[in-house]
Amino acid sequence: MKILIIRHGDPYYPTDSLTEKGQREVDLLAQKLKNVNITDIYVSPLGRAKLTAKPTAEIFGIEPVVLDWLQEFPVKLGFEYNTDFYTEMKSPWNMPPEIWANDNTLYDINNWQNSNVLKDCDVYDTYERICKEFDNLIAKHGYVRNGNAYRIEENADKEKTIALFCHFGVGTAMIAHILNMPLIAAWNSIFLPPSSVTTIYMEQHIASRPLVHGIFVGIGDTSHLYAGNEPISCSGLHAKTLN
């Protein structure tokens, strides 16, 4: 099975929709994905994600399934901080390095949830819920979490490709879960540009063996934008440009 984690197109946050650029992005995205043989589409309940999924869903004739847990990571930190790009942000995935760089607890896979940075907020509980919901979803497709890997069931459809249209914070949370890495490490080292595609193959080493694991063959891929001569949006980055 193949899993696609797709971030929404360039957003217009005041109306939870897409900019004109974002619409161009998702149209190019649909043209890229039409050759991927998507079998199932899941989407966040937020408008910008639904609008991103719409052109692709129409190509395949698939009615997207709305999953509440695919909405943007809904937790704020228990304190405010200021940056040059954002002011009074409390988003846990936008923390500047001054807050997390010297806190080794945040990078301990078994203990990151106990960092003082994360006290007085529900980051860990929310992350655990996202992980549980993700595992429940792919278990329905025949892949059941087993330790740090997955057990493939007899009913698994290895030819399926499922697409999850969502957001940066929740998308990187799923990536952290599959990679078995601390959430903060994923948030601070991976950028998923708007309309980007992250592709994971559920790899079974030998057909007779029961365990599989996620192999990433692309993280934050924006080749459809290059093909359409469309610049990559830096929405979600503190930098104003990716050049």
Express each pLDDT in 141-173 by its tens digit.
999 999 999 999 988 988 999 999 999 999 999
Predicted confidence (pLDDT) at residue 238 exceeds the cutoff of 80: no
* Whole-number pLDDT of residue 82: 64
Interatomic CA distance for residues 196 and 7, integer angstroms: 6
Architecture of domain 2-72+121-227: 3-Layer(aba) Sandwich (3.40)
Strands 149-152, 211-221: pairing is: antiparallel
Predicted confidence (pLDDT) at residue 85 exceeds the cutoff of 60: no
Q: Give the CA distances from residue 119 to residues 77, 116, 139, 176, in Å, rounded to whole numbers and listed in that order.
A: 8, 5, 32, 20
* Whole-number pLDDT of residue 76: 84
Predicted confidence (pLDDT) at residue 120 exceeds the cutoff of 90: no
- Split at pLDDT 50, 70, 90, the class of 55 is very high
pLDDT over 90 for what percent of the chain? 75
φ, ψ of residue 7 to 5 degrees: the values are -80, 150
- The residues spanned by each domain of the chain are 2-72+121-227
User: Element (H or E) spanning 136, and its range?
Assistant: helix 123-139
The mean predicted confidence, pLDDT, of the chain is 91
Q: Give the CA distances from residue 109 to residues 44, 98, 239, in Å, rounded to whole numbers and listed in that order.
A: 27, 21, 28
* Whole-number pLDDT of residue 226: 95
Q: What value does the mean pLDDT take over residues 48-69?
A: 97
User: Highest-confidence range of 103-107, 116-120, 238-242, by mean pLDDT?
Assistant: 103-107
- Split at pLDDT 50, 70, 90, the class of 243 is low
